[in-house]
Amino acid sequence: MAKKILVIDDEPDMVTFLTTLLEDHGYETVTAMDGDEGLSQLRSQKPDLVSLDLLMPNKTGIKMFRELRKDPDLCDTPVIMVTGFGTDDTPNMDFKKWIHERSIKAPEAYIEKPVDKDALLAAIKKIIG
Amino acid sequence: MFKSAIQWFNKFMHSLSFKLSFYAGLLMFLAIIVFSYHSISSQEHSLINKMIQESLKDSEVIKAAIWNGMMTKERDVIRQIVKAIGQQEGFKEINIYDNKGELHYSTKPITTKTMMDLSAEPSMNDLRNDVRLRHRISRDGHSIVVVNPLINTVSCSTSGCHASPDVEKILGILEVKLGLENLNAEVSKNRKQTIIFAVSLFLMISTASGLGVVFFVNPKIRQLQDKAAKMARGEYNPRGRNGGTDEMAELIRSFDRMSIQINQRTNELDASRKLYKSLFEEVPCYLTVVDRDFKIVRANRAFTNEFGDQVGKNCFTGYKNRTEPCENCSVAKTFEDGAVHQSEEIWRLHGRDCYVMVKTSPIFDNRGKVLEVLEMAVDVTLLKRLQLKLERKQFEFKQLFSTVPCYLTVVDRDFNIVTTNDLFERDFGERIGRKCFEAYKNSDHKCDNCPVEKTFIDGATHYSEEIWRRNGEETYIVVYTAPIHNDEGEIVSVMEMSTNITEVKRLQGELAILGETIAGMSHTIKNILSGLQGGVYVLDSGLKTSREDKVRDGWAMVKKNVEKISDLVKGILYASKERTPEYKIYSPIQLLSEVCDLYEVKARNEGISLTRNFAQDVPPCFIDPAGIHSAVSNLVSNAIHACKDLDEDQSHTITVSCFMNSANLVIEVKDDGAGMPENVRDNLFKKFYSTKGSQGTGLGLVITRKVIHEHGGNIRVESELGLGTTFIIEIPAKFEHIQPRLQEAC
């Protein structure tokens, strides 16, 4: 049975791209356009992995990630953080470090935009097989 | 012959022996004369007294004899006695007068009736009453006259001979005259003898003392004269002991001692004279002695070797080949004021100019008048060259100090500015004597962490970055301090070298902005690339799997992102390229209406109402309509973005206002949208800053601000999160405000 991946991104183009990519590689996909929708999809669809955009309207990726980790039913779902902010661009905002400081389990992987297809697929393979 | 005799006499008169003998004899002579006169006078006096006493006694005897004769009425006896007495030696005459003064008897033969000489007896009026026995010296001084009154006693008045009445006190007068000739002759003889004695004593003493001087004093004096003459010739050498115990011998011994001392002094003087002479000759500088006519009197060897024998010639000829005295001549000055003078001169020597340092000092005669001047000249050519070099270097350093393109100041320990360079003076004005902190920063106290103070403490160079205030503007300055030492190595002042880095700071700021701009731009490009990459993949996947929907989606993504790149490139060009504004008289109301017309439909589609609030009195202004159009369009577009995608049940309004505020044209774009948090407000006008994600380029407000600034205006924003945002543009509407910008543009 194919593994189910929830793609959360406010950009429809990004959603199209990621779902196409994942489906081409044998994964089943569900999508959400913002954080609130993402959380409800998580609860209803029980995906094996979440690809989460960091900057989104309504509920940012970080807020949603925090809620996800705090929810006992959801906290074990692996998360790949997809972000436009690289450490090279924003030396003053090291997101990885910032998230770590919140004493919650770090995302299982970080992928930066523009998304490196092979790196994303490798990360997914490593986490859910 | 006669002349020589007079000379000899004069010499004799002035000689010590004559003076001594003459004055000693004269003194003795006068003493004897005075003494003898006094002695003879007293002797004469006592002889006369004695004679008087004797004559008084004689007159008493005669009176007694007369009285007895009268008593016995033997007149002839009386006459005989009187006559006998009168004939004795010494008696000149004996006269008897009656109480009327008539002569009754005289030892001299009487021819006529003679009266008593009353003029000789002042009290003769009292002849009848004066009973005193009295005497006098006759007028001619040759005799003593004794007057003895014959008193009318009781026996007389009562006797029967020729009784006189008892009222008569005096019966007659007995006058006895005694001769003084013998006595006078004796006295005169004594006088003569005394004078002879005195004269002979005078001659004896004079001769004795004269001879004493001639024999005992003169030879010694001559001896002293000889010695003095020898000593004067420098030939005298006192040898052996001079005998004798008298004052002259002592004087000669003193003279010898003196001559020994003088010899010693002379030898010393001679030695020092020789020393000075050798110094004068050997000293390694040119020495000349010059008289009042500027003639060289003496010159030392160094001078003679260099200039030849110039003695007797004028100094200006000798030194400088001049025909007349130099101007500002030190020698002349020294002759004038007797002080040391100094000058630097250029002499010709071996065909080349040489610099000499000339010092003149006076040589005084014994009356303190400047007799000659010693001129000392030292060749300082080498030194002078070094000095010139040093002066040149100093000038260069000064030049460097003045013109170096940074601020240079020298500050003393009390932080007073001692000197400044040209640039500092140009930018900060004359500040010498002021405190540095006051001059640089308008501060009234020393700065914290003062680099000048540190340099004074440790002598090292220090550095600080400071902000100075100049004409009310802040100037960024980097200051280096360095110590300035005196000859003893103490730090006397500190040099502050300050560079104006305001421009660097501004560039630094711009660089930071540029960095942020590039970061922002790369972010935007990354987003576009990401979209393109996704589109290409989806297209590719659709083609591979023959899924038309994927091909369409993918192609749409690619097209959208290509458009974004196109927008971005256009925006960048607009924001960075110097676009020349095209100013013209244009109605702002018309312009704003065009903008509103353009966005009316788009706003309505988003459920937003676009309101126009234009004041009626806004006149046409001199503006760049295309620029303002683009600026206001940006703001309206932003406002629509801020209002859309909010709660759908709430309607939003965007108000575009236009009015005049005094001389300014004011355009406001106000929305009641999301509002902005502080961090967004702060970054609003940065290039490539966008809150629209992949929708914006981050250049809109940059372009807007650029246009407003080109109009000499400003743009500001008021915003509150959740309540909305208002952008306010103010542009000076007057033509003059735009004129300079126009010229700039041309």
B550: nearest CA partner in chain A? A20
A17 touches chain B (CB under 8 A): yes
Q: What does the pLDDT read at residue B206?
A: 84
pLDDT band at B179 (very low <50, low <70, confident <90, very high): confident
Q: How far is CA B156 from CA B71, B153, B168, in A?
A: 8, 5, 11
Residues of B with CB below 8 A from A10's CB?
A: 693
CA distances from B643 to B483, B608, B700 (A): 65, 7, 17
Alpha-carbon separation of residue B189 from B51, B181, B369, B396, B680 (angstroms): 19, 12, 72, 119, 163
Give the integer Cα–Cα distance in Å for B51 and B184. 12
For A82, the closest chain B residue by CA position comes to: B530
Count CB pairs under 8 A between chains A and B: 56
Q: Which of A91, A82, A75 is nearest to A42 (CA)?
A: A75
Better pLDDT: B150 or A23: A23
Are residues B538 and A16, on separate chains, in Cβ contact within 8 Å?
yes
A82 Cβ under 8 Å from any chain B Cβ: no
In 3D space, the residue among B118, B120, B115, B159 whose CA is nearest the CA of residue B137 turns out to be B120
Nearest Cβ partner of A14 from B522, B534, B550? B534
What residues have CB less than 8 Å from A100, skipping those under 6 apart?
A106
Determine the Cα–Cα distance for residues B247 and A124; give it in Å rounded to an integer: 148
Residue A36 pLDDT: 87
At B516 the pLDDT is: 67
**Closest partner residue to A113 among B530, B542, B645, by Cβ?**
B530
Asked whether the beta carbons of B534 and A16 are under 8 A apart, the reply is: yes
Residues of chain B contacting A113 with CB distance shorter than 8 Å: 526-527, 530
Under a CB-based contact definition with an 8 Å cutoff, are residues B109 and B95 in contact?
Answer: no
Interface membership of B135 toward A (CB under 8 Å):
no
pLDDT at residue B454, as a whole number: 92
Does B698 contact A at CB distance below 8 Å? no
Closest CA to B538 of B523, B559, B522, B524: B559
Among all chains, which residue has been given the structure tokens 């706003």? Answer: B603
B695 and chain A in contact, CB less than 8 A:
no
pLDDT the model gives residue B586: 85
Residue the block writes with tokens 């000739």:
B181
d(CA B122, CA B626): 168
Query: Residue B741 and residue B440: Cα distance in Å, rounded?
Result: 33
Write out pLDDT tens, residues B499-530.
Answer: 888 888 778 777 776 776 676 677 778 778 88
Per-residue pLDDT at A89: 42
Top-confidence residue, B641 or B574: B641
CB B145 within 8 A of CB B175: yes
Non-local (6+) Cβ contacts of B246 within 8 A are: B216
Does residue B437 surpass a pLDDT of 70? yes
Given CB atoms, is B533 within the 8 Å cutoff of chain A? yes
Give the integer Cα–Cα distance in Å for B632 and B704. Answer: 7
- A11 CB neighbours in chain B (<8 A) are 531, 693-694
* Residue of A10, A20, A84 with shortest CB distance to B537: A20
Identify all chain A residues contacting B541, using CB atoms and an 8 Å cutoff. 20-21, 24
Looking at the complex, report in whole angstroms how far the Cα of residue B507 sits from the nearest Cα belonging to chain A. 22
φ/ψ (deg, to 5) at B640: -60, -40
Q: What is the pLDDT of residue B341?
A: 92
pLDDT-derived band at B100, boundaries 50, 70, 90:
confident
Q: Which residues pair with A9 in a beta bridge?
A: none
Residue B739, pLDDT above cutoff 60: no
Least confident of A58-72, B267-281, B601-615: A58-72
Distance from CA of B437 to the nearest CA of A (A): 38
pLDDT tens for residues B663-673? 889 999 999 88
Q: What is the pLDDT of residue A85?
A: 55
What residues of chain A score a pLDDT lower than 70? 57-59, 84-103
Residue B398: predicted pLDDT: 85
Amino acid B311: pLDDT: 87
* CB of B134 closer than 8 Å to CB of B147: yes
Q: Is the pLDDT of residue B585 over 70?
A: yes
Rounded Cα distance, B547 and B686, in Å: 43
Q: Give me the DSSP letters along B686-715.
A: STT--SSGGG--S-HHHHHHHHHHHTT-EE
Token readout for B347 is: 């002499």
The arithmetic mean of pLDDT across residues B143-155, rounded, is 79
The mean pLDDT value of chain B amounts to 82
How many Cβ atoms sit within 10 Å of the Cβ of residue A2? 12
pLDDT classification of B560: cutoffs 50, 70, 90: confident
Q: Assign domain B404-500 to a CATH class.
A: alpha beta
Half-sphere exposure (Cβ direction) of A127: Cα atoms closer than 13 Å: 22
CATH, domain range B283-387: 3.30.450.20
Contact at CB, A115 and B694, closer than 8 angstroms: no
Q: Which CATH class is domain B578-745?
A: alpha beta
Tell me: the pLDDT tens digits for B118-144? 665 554 556 677 777 888 887 777 888
Nearest partner of B43 among B146, B181, B191, judged by Cα:
B191
Which of 205-244 (B) contact A at CB < 8 A? none
ipTM associated with this complex: 0.85
Dump pLDDT digits (tens) for B451-461.
999 999 999 99
| pLDDT at site B119 | 62
H helical segments located in B140-236: 154-158, 181-212, 218-233
Q: Is B541 on the interface with A (CB under 8 A)?
A: yes
Per the listing, tokens 């001659």 go with B203
Q: Greater confidence, B16 or B735?
A: B16
Tokens read off for B482: 């360095």
B624-644: burial string, b at 16+ Cβ within 10 Å, e else? bbebbbbbbbbbbbbbbbbbb
Q: What percent of chain B has pLDDT over 90?
A: 11
The shortest C-alpha distance from A23 to chain B (Å) reads 10
pLDDT tens track for B181-211: 888 888 888 888 888 888 888 888 888 888 8
Q: Please report the pLDDT score of residue B734 as a whole number.
A: 62
Mark which residues 624-643 of B lie under 8 Å from A by CB: none
Residue B702 near residue B614, CB atoms below 8 Å: no
Closest CA to B608 of B559, B660, B564, B674: B674
B9-236 shares its CATH topology with B283-387:
yes
- For B9-236, CATH gives 3.30.450.20
Chain A residue closest in CA terms to B530: A114
Our CA angle for B203, B204, B205, nearest 5°, is 95
CB B171 within 8 A of CB B194: no
Question: pLDDT at residue B164 above 70?
Answer: no
Alpha-carbon distance of B216 to B196, in angstroms, equals 30
For residues A58 and A50, give the distance between their C-alpha atoms in angstroms, rounded to a whole number: 18
pLDDT digits (tens, 9 = 90+) for B341-369: 988 888 777 777 788 888 999 999 888 89
Range scoring the smallest mean pLDDT among B51-55, B589-593, B615-619, B648-652 = B648-652
* DSSP assignment string, A41-107: HHHHH--SEEEEESS-SSS-HHHHHHHHHHSTTTTTS-EEEEES--TTT-TT--HHHHHHTTTSPPP
Contact, B90 vs B183, CB < 8 A?
Answer: no
Interface residue of A9, A14, A16, A34 to substitute, partner B, most B CBs within 10 Å: A16
pLDDT at A80: 92
Bridge partners (DSSP) listed for residue B289: B298, B374
Answer whether B547 touches A (CB < 8 Å). no
Confidence of residue B602 (pLDDT cuts 50, 70, 90): confident
- From residue B295, give the alpha-carbon distance in Å to each of B277, B321, B335: 20, 14, 13
Contact criterion met (CB < 8 Å) for A84 and B523: yes
pLDDT for B647:
63
Q: Where are chain B's structural domains?
A: 9-236, 283-387, 404-500, 507-561, 578-745
In the three-class reduction of DSSP (H, G, I as helix; E, B as strand; rest coil), residue B556 is classed as helix
CB contact under 8 A, B694 and A11: yes
Determine which of B25-34, B416-425, B526-535, B695-704 has the lowest per-residue pLDDT on average. B695-704
Q: Which is nearest to A33 in space by CA: A3, A56, A17?
A: A56
Domains recognised in chain A with CATH numbers: 4-128 (3.40.50.2300)
B240: left (phi over 0), alpha (psi -120 to 50) or beta: left
Tokens of B134: 């009295």
CA–CA min distance B725, chain A (Å) = 19
d(CA B385, CA A81): 82
- A73 is written with which tokens? 């039913």
Cα B604 to the chain's mean position, in Å?
Answer: 96
How distant is the Cα of B575 from the closest Cα of chain A, in angstroms? 22
* pLDDT given at position A90: 43
Find the helix or strand (DSSP H, E) in which B397 lies: helix B381-403
Look at B537 and A117 and tell me if their CB atoms are within 8 Å.
yes
Copy the structure tokens of residue B388: 């010139």
Q: Does the beta-carbon distance from A14 to B645 stay under 8 Å?
A: no
- Does B522 sit within 8 Å of A17, measured CB to CB? no
Q: Which residues of B touch A117 (CB under 8 A)?
A: 537
Tell me how far CA of residue B665 lies from CA of B415, B582, B660, B678, B729, in angstroms: 52, 18, 5, 28, 8
Which residue of B529, B538, B545 is in closest CB contact with A114? Answer: B529
Backbone angles phi, psi at A94, to 5 degrees: -85, 95
Q: Under 8 Å CB-to-CB from B714, ≥6 apart: which residues?
A: B708, B729, B730
Output the pLDDT for position B383: 85
With bands split at pLDDT 50, 70 and 90, how would you rate the model's confidence at B62? confident
Quick check: B46 contacting A, CB < 8 Å? no
* Contact assignment for A90 to B519 by CB distance below 8 Å: yes
Q: Under an 8 A CB cutoff, do A17 and B534 touch? A: yes
Per-range mean pLDDT, top range of A3-7, B255-259, B583-587, B634-638: A3-7
Phi, psi dihedral angles at B271 (to 5 degrees)? -65, -45
Rounded distance, CA B6 to CA B2, Å? 6
What confidence tens digit (pLDDT) does each residue in B77-97 have? 777 878 888 888 778 888 888
Q: What is the mean pLDDT of residues B49-75?
A: 80
Query: Distance (Å, rounded) from C-alpha B426 to C-alpha B403?
Result: 11
Q: Which of residues 18-57 of A touch B (CB under 8 A)?
A: 18, 20-21, 24, 55, 57
- How many angstroms from the chain centroid is the CA of residue B286? 35
**Interface residue A113 vs chain B (CB under 8 A):** yes
In percent, how much of chain B has pLDDT > 70?
A: 89
Nearest CB neighbour to A84, from listed B527, B533, B542 = B527
pLDDT bin (cut points 50, 70, 90) of residue B113 is: low
Closest-CA distance of chain B to residue A14, Å? 7
Read off the tokens for B594.
């065009």
Q: Is B654 left (phi over 0), alpha (psi -120 to 50) or beta?
A: beta
Does A10 reach chain B within 8 Å, measured CB to CB?
A: yes
Nearest CA to CA, how far is B561 from chain A (Å)? 10
Q: Which of A13, A17, A89 sits opposite B523 (nearest CB)?
A: A89
**pLDDT tier for residue B688 given thresholds of 50, 70 and 90:** low
